[in-house]
Amino acid sequence: MFGFGMPELIIILVIMLVAFGPAKLPQLVRHWWSNQEFQEGL
C-alpha cells in the first residue's frame, strides 16, 4: 500500500465513520473494493 500503518488506518476509518455514518460505510467500502479489483484486472 502507501506505507499506512495500523494507527493511520484506524484514524481514517474513524474519520469516515464520522463523515458518512455507520449505515453508509459498508457501501463505500464495498464500492472501493470492487473498483480496486476492476483496476487490477485491466
Q: What is the pLDDT of residues 1-42, one digit of tens each?
A: 567 788 888 898 888 888 888 888 788 778 877 877 676 766
- pLDDT for the residue 32: 75
- Provide long-range contacts, Cβ within 8 A and 24+ apart, for 2-9: none
Length in residues, the chain: 42
pLDDT at 21 (0 to 100)? 83
CA distances from 9 to 13, 19, 22, 38, 42 (A): 6, 15, 17, 22, 27
What is residue 22's predicted lDDT score, i.e. its pLDDT? 80
* Alpha-carbon gap, residue 21 to 15, rounded angstroms: 10
CA distance 36 to 42: 10
pLDDT value at residue 1:
52
